[in-house]
Structure 1
Amino acid sequence: MSRPRRRWQLPTLAAAALLVAGATAVPVIAQESPAEPTAQTQQEVEPRQEGYRKIGYFTQWGVYDRNYLVKDIDTSGSAAALTHINYSFGNITEQGECFQANQAGVGDAWADYQRRYTAEQSVSGVADTYDQPLAGNLNQLRQLKEKYPHLRVQISFGGWTWSKYFSNAAATAESRRAHVESCIDMWIRGNMPVMGGEPQGGPGSALGVFDGIDLDWEWPGSEGEVGNVIRPEDRENFTLLLQEWRSQLDAVGEEHGKEYELSAFLPADPEKVDLGYDVPAVFEELSFGTLQGYDYHGAWDPTTNHQSGLFLGDNEPGPLQVSGEIVVDKWLAEGAPADKLVLGVPFYSRGWTGVTGGGDGLHQPAAGPAPGRYEAGIQDYEVIKASAGNFTLHRDEQTGQAWLFDGNTFWTYDDATEMTRKAQYVKERGLSGAMIWSLDGDTPDGELIAALDDELPIGPNPPGEPGDPGDPGDPGEPGDCTVAAWDPATAYVGGATVSYDGHQWRAKWWTQGETPGTTGEWGVWTDLGPC
Structure 2
Amino acid sequence: MSARKWRAATLLTGLVAAAATVAVPPAQAHQPDRGHGHDHGSQVRTVGYFIQWGIYARDYHAANLVTSGTAARLTHLNYAFGSLDEQGNCVSADAWADFQRPVPAEQSVDGVADVAGQPVSGNLNQLRKLKVKYPNLKVHISLGGWSGSKYFSNAALTPQSRANHVKSCLDGWLKGTIAGTDANGKGLAAGIIDGVDLDWEWPASTAGAPGNVVRPEDKVNFTALVKEYRTQLDKFPGRHKPELTAYLPANSREIDKGFEVSKVFKYLDFGTVQGYDLHGAWDLETNQQSALRTPKGDPTPAPGYSTEVTIDSYLSRGAPRNKLVLGVPFFGRGWTGVTNANRGLFQKATAAAPGKWEAGGEDYKELKAKVGKDGFKIYRDDRAGFSWIFNGTTFWTYDDPTEMRRKARYIKDRCLGGAMIWSLDADTADGELIKSLHRELTSR
TM range (shorter): over 0.9
CA distance in 2, matches of 1:250, 1:230: 29
Instruction: Please name the residue that 2:241 is paired with.
Output: 259
1:188 counterpart letter in structure 2: L
Task: Give the CA deviation at 1:6.
Answer: 4.0
Structure 1 residues 280 and 458 mapped into 2: Cα distance closer, same or farther (>3 Å)? Answer: farther
Q: How does 1:179-218 map to 2 (within 5 A)?
A: 179-193=165-179, 203-218=186-201
Task: Give the CA deviation at 1:272.
Answer: 1.4
2:144 counterpart letter in structure 1: G
Q: How does 1:238-317 map to 2 (within 5 A)?
A: 238-252=222-236, 255-317=237-299
CA distance in 2, matches of 1:5, 1:405: 27
Structure number with bigger Rg: 1
Which range moved further: 151-160 or 36-45?
A: 36-45
Task: Give the CA deviation at 1:357.
Answer: 4.0
- Aligned partners of 2:15 and 2:300 also within 8 Å: no
The answer as to 2:306 corresponding to 1:323 is yes
CA distance in 2, matches of 1:308, 1:376: 18
TM-score, normalization: structure 1? 0.78
- Kindly indicate whether structure 1 or structure 2 has the higher relative contact order, using CA contacts under 8 Å at least 6 residues apart: 2
- Aligned partners of 2:42 and 2:322 also within 8 Å: no
Task: Give the CA deviation at 1:52.
Answer: 1.1
CA distance in 2, matches of 1:458, 1:128: 39
Structure 2 alignment gaps of length 5 or more: 34-39
CA distance in 2, matches of 1:442, 1:231: 38
1:428 counterpart letter in structure 2: D
Secondary structure of the structure 2 residue equivalent to 1:360: helix
Instruction: Please name the residue that 1:85 is paired with.
Output: 77
CA distance in 1, matches of 2:3, 2:289: 18
Instruction: Please name the residue that 1:39 is paired with.
Output: 26
Instruction: Please name the residue that 2:212 is paired with.
Output: 228
Instruction: Please name the residue that 1:512 is paired with.
Output: none
Instruction: Please name the residue that 1:453 is paired with.
Output: 438
- Aligned partners of 1:28 and 1:268 also within 8 Å: no
- Aligned partners of 1:5 and 1:375 also within 8 Å: no
Which range moved further: 397-406 or 34-43?
A: 34-43
Task: Give the CA deviation at 1:343.
Answer: 0.3
The answer as to 2:132 corresponding to 1:146 is yes
Instruction: Please name the residue that 1:9 is paired with.
Output: 8
Instruction: Please name the residue that 2:36 is paired with.
Output: none
Structure 1 residues 165 and 265 mapped into 2: Cα distance closer, same or farther (>3 Å)? Answer: same
1:310 counterpart letter in structure 2: L
Task: Give the CA deviation at 1:204.
Answer: 1.6
Which digits, 9 at most, give the CA deviation of each residue in 1:232-255, with x for residues without a partner? 111111111011111111112xx2
CA distance in 2, matches of 1:260, 1:274: 28
CA distance in 2, matches of 1:40, 1:229: 40
Task: Give the CA deviation at 1:319.
Answer: 3.0
1:248 counterpart letter in structure 2: Q
Task: Give the CA deviation at 1:38.
Answer: 1.6
Secondary structure of the structure 2 residue equivalent to 1:112: helix
- Aligned partners of 2:42 and 2:417 also within 8 Å: no
**Alignment counterpart, residue 336 of structure 2, candidates 353, 358, 373:** 353
The answer as to 2:385 corresponding to 1:385 is no
1:207 counterpart letter in structure 2: A
Structure 1 residues 413 and 29 mapped into 2: Cα distance closer, same or farther (>3 Å)? Answer: farther
Task: Give the CA deviation at 1:257.
Answer: 2.5
Which digits, 9 at most, give the CA deviation of each residue in 1:396-447, with x for residues without a partner? 1121111000001000000000000010000010001000000001001111
Task: Give the CA deviation at 1:194.
Answer: 5.3
CA distance in 2, matches of 1:347, 1:30: 28
CA distance in 1, matches of 2:340, 2:22: 32
Structure 1 alignment gaps of length 5 or more: 15-26, 101-106, 460-531
Task: Give the CA deviation at 1:34.
Answer: 4.8
Task: Give the CA deviation at 1:308.
Answer: 0.5
Secondary structure of the structure 1 residue equivalent to 2:54: helix
Structure 1 residues 35 and 337 mapped into 2: Cα distance closer, same or farther (>3 Å)? Answer: closer
CA distance in 2, matches of 1:5, 1:232: 25
- Aligned partners of 2:70 and 2:434 also within 8 Å: yes
CA distance in 2, matches of 1:372, 1:445: 22
- Aligned partners of 1:8 and 1:159 also within 8 Å: no
Instruction: Please name the residue that 1:340 is paired with.
Output: 323
CA distance in 1, matches of 2:165, 2:15: 30
**Alignment counterpart, residue 391 of structure 2, candidates 400, 403, 406:** 406
The answer as to 2:403 corresponding to 1:418 is yes
- Aligned partners of 1:92 and 1:165 also within 8 Å: yes
Structure 1 residues 324 and 45 mapped into 2: Cα distance closer, same or farther (>3 Å)? Answer: farther
Q: How does 1:468-487 map to 2 (within 5 A)?
A: none
CA distance in 1, matches of 2:340, 2:311: 33
Identity %: 52
Secondary structure of the structure 2 residue equivalent to 1:365: coil
Secondary structure of the structure 2 residue equivalent to 1:187: helix
CA distance in 1, matches of 2:58, 2:16: 32
Instruction: Please name the residue that 1:96 is paired with.
Output: 88
Instruction: Please name the residue that 2:359 is paired with.
Output: 376
Secondary structure of the structure 2 residue equivalent to 1:286: coil
2:331 counterpart letter in structure 1: Y
Which digits, 9 at most, give the CA deviation of each residue in 1:85-144, with x for residues without a partner? 0000011011100123xxxxxx21101111111222111111111111011011001101
CA distance in 2, matches of 1:422, 1:187: 33
- Aligned partners of 1:30 and 1:271 also within 8 Å: yes
Which digits, 9 at most, give the CA deviation of each residue in 1:300-330, with x for residues without a partner? 1000000011101121114371100000001
Instruction: Please name the residue that 1:488 is paired with.
Output: none
